[in-house]
Structure 1
Amino acid sequence: MIQGTRRWFRRNRTNFAIGAGVLGAGYLAGQYVIGKIGEARQRMSDERIAKENLRRRFEQNQEDCTFTVLAILPTATENILDAIPVEQVLEELQRQKAERVARSVGPSEIASSAPPSVADTTEDDGRSSSMQTDSFVHASQVVTEGESSSGPVEGNAAAGDGKKSKKSKAQLWNEMKISSITRAFTLIYTLCLLTLLTRIQLNLLGRRNYLASVVSLAAPQPTSEGSRINLENNDDDNCEQAYGNDFETNRRYLSLSWWLLHKGCIDLIEKVRAAVKDVFGLLNPREEITLEKLSELTLEVRKRVEGATEEERRTCKWLTYLLPPPSRESYVLHESGMSSTPSPSTTASLRRLIDETSDLIDSPAFTHVLTQLLDAAFSHLVDVKISALAYKIPPISENPARVQELVGSAEVQGKAKVANSLAVFCRQAHGIGSGANNEYLAAVEGVRGLEAFAAVVYSSNFEFESPDVSPGSRPATADGLGRTVVLEEGTSTDMVQGADKVDDEFESAWGKAVAKEDDGKDV
């Protein structure tokens, strides 16, 4: 029997070998599949964690942008208010009014006459600041009392140096009209430009810092001496870091907003003032107009500043207001306190940041989003504030279509004197430039295109952030957006042309973001 069993195994040994091979191969294949499934699960988990981490970083970045704008906006507001002193014109009008009243009545009557009450002449939202309230009350008082001569006006605030103005009443009113409108419009432009500039700056730095952290985590850790804790130094002052993730470079880059706060906003005043003079120059402060007419005049001013057509708006250059020319960069760094020397040098890392910022500002996407922000800010000023305070139209609905319906039916609602709107323009100038509870900034940040633009800036051009790039030592070419693309030594022209096929990454990414935004609106 044992011999028979041996013979049976000997006859079937080939089948046994094949079966064992099949079982072994199946076991190995099963282990391979299980391993691949485990790797896929781990990869999906890592991607999900990475996306969540990126989302949280991005959202935190946008909150930082809001707080940054609120912190530095009062600096530009102060400069604009100093450059357009509407209150001084109002004080001079008060002084002249007081002199006319003094000549027409006796001293005893002046002494016995009670001054107008602030509560009788201000709107509900004029209680925020004593300086604001006084100014706007005076504007309303001078107009109404100039027509009816119903009572004296407070003139002690305009006593000043006792010198009489050489300008007539009509000249002062025209100056006050142009100045109050110019100041409010300039502050709106400054707010929108500062919002976009801050979004670009902080999202560029956020993108670079995020990449630096990813590279730091992906770098192999030394194991010869056991486990170690790797700390990422985000405040390293080494200016040679590949991602610009050094504290000194970031400080210098952010300090470039000094140009808009001190120089760009002043240059904007002249451009806006010229447009306001052309549009509002012949308008009499005592004239009554509808809210629809005021909206049309405001739109006409915007056309002269931004461009009347889509092509003109796309070619309108805002870079000169936002960033200094290369010849003045050292001056800005010195004036902002970033350098003790009159002519500090610009590092290669800082140069890359400035160049990419300039390209983003000159891109069509920037102009598109800026137009949306300005639409929201001007709508809040005219369709909400002036509508309620000067024309007494109650805010029935937040729906933009309903707001436009109210504006279109302003004829039915009645008219208001231009002077009433000027008082609101004066008061709202302080609200537009406020560093706390800024309704205009909230309206601007409610524009969906702003977040889309920030997301594109934060997520685009990752491939240009290679740590092997050394801008000062390798040949460069320009891509389709005008950006400088640094090439490795020996890079062929064919590779450059291949890169040019993807050179519109920012524009294509922006197109996808806008398409998603439009789809959301349709829904």
Structure 2
Amino acid sequence: MGYAVEVGSTSLRSMRNTIISRKNHQTMPPNQRSRSLLQRHRGKLLISLTGIAALFTTGSVVVFFVKRWLYKQQLRITEQHFIKEQIKRRFEQTQEDSLYTIYELLPVWEMVLNESNLDLDSIITQLKDQKNHTTREKSVKSIESSPLKTKAELWNELELKSLIKLTTVTYTVSSLILLTRLQLNILTRNEYLDSAIKLTMEQENSNKLNSRLYNWVTSWWSNPEEKMSDATAAKDTKMDGQEVYINEQAFLSLSWWILNKGWLHYNEIITNQIEIEFSGVNPRDTLTLEEFSSRLTKIFQNINSQIFQENNDSLLSIFLPKTSSEQEFLLSQTLDPEALESFHTNTLIFKQLINELTQCIESTVTSIVLESLINESFHFIMNKVGAKTMAKKKPGQEDQQYYQMAVFTMSIKDCCQEMLQTAPGSAHGGGVNEYLATLDSVQPLDDLSASVYSNFGVSSSYGFKR
């Protein structure tokens, strides 16, 4: 019984405490109740806030890196577009520079032609003097060992030399514009690529501190002889700006060879073919335009068969000196003594440029391009000579199909003069040489130039492998 009373009293006390607690809670102020609630759920609340903060932070970081990645991609695309446009502009400028160079070289070569017994104006002057008997008699008396030629002899000489000069101009100028395109595109590509390599190396070096440290540490146990050979090689390949400039100028001076020596090889072949085809045609003989074109076509075909035949180095000897003595003679004619002495101290770049140019000239593609230039020249000649010949018809001869060879001769002379025209300021927006403009627009020439300009698979002029 006593046990039951004790248990009952304990239950009564518990119930009383619960009631008192509830009363106290009901009478507790609101702020105290909130604090009590926060205290009880503080752990859950901290976990929730931490999760929200982490989620927000992660999202912000992800958005930041995504925006940064997109910005870098846009910047990379913009840079690539800028580089492509820069390469394109540089290429177009190089082709214009090539044309300007030809304009500058033509007067020089015309002087060489005139000094090589192909001065047609002097023959015209002698023909005019034939009309003045007094002048002729005085000349005969004053020149005992070389009397004046007869009118027929002068006309025959003018006929053959006009044809020889016209054809020689065709082959030489075609070769000269091809050579100039190859030279300038090789140099421009090397200059652009070397600049790009240097810029890339600077950017890479700025991000390779660890690599430098590694190289510094490993250099202590590397082979001393290997280090010495590497240093020697670096010293040998290093060239200052002046040496590079002289090497490049020596490379550009190769045009001197074709203007003073190489064209003579053309001239020998051309003279032989023209004498075979036209020596029996007198100035008074008549031909139709078709007959004249047929004879000239045969001459061009025979010349092409000799200079483009397989395993023949005649084309290379026209563009470049074959022996070291010929090369030394060329450099002595184009470089001043001080520059020549400096050139001989380091010829690395010159040799590399010569090797690349030689490979280009020896390629089948280059021969095809040169032949395309010559064919375009032939069409230009026939159009000009045909128009000039028909324009020389006298009144009442409009229906005449035949023309005297003398008329063709004068038309050839006028055409040749136009092909060598270099009006003042012509290279810089003045008068335009129609013949040069025609050759400059030949598509195979542009294709070859683009191929050389973009050929990054050859050795750099500064020793880098591309």
Offset from partner CA, 1:162-193 (integer Å, 9 cap, x none) = 55659776655443322210111101211111
- 2:371 corresponds to which letter in structure 1? T
In the alignment, the residues of structure 2 paired with residue 363 and residue 283 of structure 1 have an alpha-carbon distance, to the nearest angstrom, of 39
Deviation at 1:352, TM superposition (A): 0.6
Matching residue of 2:404: 417
Q: Give the conservation status (yes or no) of the 8 Å contact 2:246–2:343.
A: no
| Residue 42 in structure 1 maps to residue 75 in structure 2 | yes
Equivalenced residue count is 386
Q: 1:243 to 1:283 in 2, by over 3 A?
A: farther
Offset from partner CA, 1:12-53 (integer Å, 9 cap, x none) = 877766665544443333222211111111111212222222
For residue 459 of structure 1, the aligned residue among 437, 446, 454 is 454
Higher relative contact order (CA 8 A, sep 6+): 2
Q: 1:302 to 1:15 in 2, by over 3 A?
A: farther
In the alignment, the residues of structure 2 paired with residue 73 and residue 420 of structure 1 have an alpha-carbon distance, to the nearest angstrom, of 26
Q: 1:244 to 1:306 in 2, by over 3 A?
A: farther
Matching residue of 1:435: 422
Matching residue of 1:374: 374
- Percent identical among aligned pairs is 25
- 1:43 corresponds to which letter in structure 2? R
Q: Any idea what SS the aligned residue of 1:318 has?
A: helix
Unpaired stretches in structure 1, ≥5 consecutive residues: 103-109, 111-153, 224-237, 395-410, 470-485, 487-498, 500-523
Q: 1:7 to 1:306 in 2, by over 3 A?
A: farther
Q: 1:386 to 1:466 in 2, by over 3 A?
A: closer
Q: Give the conservation status (yes or no) of the 8 Å contact 1:387–1:393.
A: no
Q: Give the conservation status (yes or no) of the 8 Å contact 2:136–2:148.
A: no
Q: Any idea what SS the aligned residue of 1:307 has?
A: helix
For residue 178 of structure 2, the aligned residue among 179, 185, 196 is 196
In the alignment, the residues of structure 2 paired with residue 364 and residue 274 of structure 1 have an alpha-carbon distance, to the nearest angstrom, of 26
| Residue 278 in structure 1 maps to residue 276 in structure 2 | yes
In the alignment, the residues of structure 2 paired with residue 10 and residue 460 of structure 1 have an alpha-carbon distance, to the nearest angstrom, of 70
Offset from partner CA, 1:488-521 (integer Å, 9 cap, x none) = xxxxxxxxxxx9xxxxxxxxxxxxxxxxxxxxxx
Matching residue of 1:361: 361
Q: Which has the higher helix share?
A: 2
Q: Any idea what SS the aligned residue of 1:324 has?
A: coil
Q: Give the conservation status (yes or no) of the 8 Å contact 2:190–2:461.
A: no
In the alignment, the residues of structure 1 paired with residue 355 and residue 242 of structure 2 have an alpha-carbon distance, to the nearest angstrom, of 13
- 1:441 corresponds to which letter in structure 2? L
In the alignment, the residues of structure 2 paired with residue 337 and residue 47 of structure 1 have an alpha-carbon distance, to the nearest angstrom, of 40
Q: 1:291 to 1:466 in 2, by over 3 A?
A: closer
In the alignment, the residues of structure 2 paired with residue 12 and residue 296 of structure 1 have an alpha-carbon distance, to the nearest angstrom, of 103
TM-score of the aligned structures, taking structure 1 as reference length: 0.64
Deviation at 1:381, TM superposition (A): 2.0
Q: 1:54 to 1:241 in 2, by over 3 A?
A: farther
In the alignment, the residues of structure 1 paired with residue 77 and residue 255 of structure 2 have an alpha-carbon distance, to the nearest angstrom, of 41
In the alignment, the residues of structure 2 paired with residue 8 and residue 19 of structure 1 have an alpha-carbon distance, to the nearest angstrom, of 17
1:390-405 matched pairs, under 5 angstroms:
390-392=389-391
Deviation at 1:5, TM superposition (A): 4.8
- 1:57 corresponds to which letter in structure 2? R
Q: Give the conservation status (yes or no) of the 8 Å contact 2:159–2:409.
A: yes
- 1:288 corresponds to which letter in structure 2? T
- 1:372 corresponds to which letter in structure 2? S
Deviation at 1:56, TM superposition (A): 2.4
Q: 1:463 to 1:321 in 2, by over 3 A?
A: closer
Q: Give the conservation status (yes or no) of the 8 Å contact 2:273–2:302.
A: yes
In the alignment, the residues of structure 2 paired with residue 277 and residue 349 of structure 1 have an alpha-carbon distance, to the nearest angstrom, of 44
CA RMSD across the alignment: 3.9
| Residue 57 in structure 1 maps to residue 54 in structure 2 | no
Offset from partner CA, 1:376-409 (integer Å, 9 cap, x none) = 32222221x2122112399xxxxxxxxxxxxxxx
Structure number, greater radius of gyration: 2
In the alignment, the residues of structure 1 paired with residue 137 and residue 267 of structure 2 have an alpha-carbon distance, to the nearest angstrom, of 30
Q: 1:427 to 1:313 in 2, by over 3 A?
A: farther
For residue 305 of structure 1, the aligned residue among 299, 303, 306 is 303
Matching residue of 2:232: none
Q: Give the conservation status (yes or no) of the 8 Å contact 1:279–1:297.
A: yes
Q: 1:158 to 1:193 in 2, by over 3 A?
A: farther
Deviation at 1:427, TM superposition (A): 2.8
Q: Any idea what SS the aligned residue of 2:283 has?
A: coil
Q: Tell me whether 159-168 or 54-63 shows the greater mean CA deviation.
A: 159-168
Deviation at 1:213, TM superposition (A): 3.2
In the alignment, the residues of structure 1 paired with residue 47 and residue 362 of structure 2 have an alpha-carbon distance, to the nearest angstrom, of 77
1:146-295 matched pairs, under 5 angstroms:
161=143, 165=147, 172-218=154-200, 220=202, 240-241=238-239, 246-295=244-293
1:332-371 matched pairs, under 5 angstroms:
332-339=330-337, 345=344, 347-371=347-371
Deviation at 1:78, TM superposition (A): 1.5
Deviation at 1:98, TM superposition (A): 5.1
In the alignment, the residues of structure 1 paired with residue 385 and residue 269 of structure 2 have an alpha-carbon distance, to the nearest angstrom, of 23
- 2:391 corresponds to which letter in structure 1? K
Q: Give the conservation status (yes or no) of the 8 Å contact 1:272–1:305.
A: yes
In the alignment, the residues of structure 2 paired with residue 255 and residue 329 of structure 1 have an alpha-carbon distance, to the nearest angstrom, of 10
In the alignment, the residues of structure 1 paired with residue 122 and residue 88 of structure 2 have an alpha-carbon distance, to the nearest angstrom, of 49
Q: Give the conservation status (yes or no) of the 8 Å contact 2:349–2:462.
A: no
Q: Tell me whether 326-335 or 23-32 shows the greater mean CA deviation.
A: 23-32
| Residue 322 in structure 1 maps to residue 311 in structure 2 | no
Q: 1:4 to 1:455 in 2, by over 3 A?
A: same
- 1:68 corresponds to which letter in structure 2? T
In the alignment, the residues of structure 2 paired with residue 208 and residue 243 of structure 1 have an alpha-carbon distance, to the nearest angstrom, of 14
Matching residue of 1:402: none
In the alignment, the residues of structure 2 paired with residue 288 and residue 157 of structure 1 have an alpha-carbon distance, to the nearest angstrom, of 35
Offset from partner CA, 1:201-251 (integer Å, 9 cap, x none) = 12222222223333454454999xxxxxxxxxxxxxx99339998221122
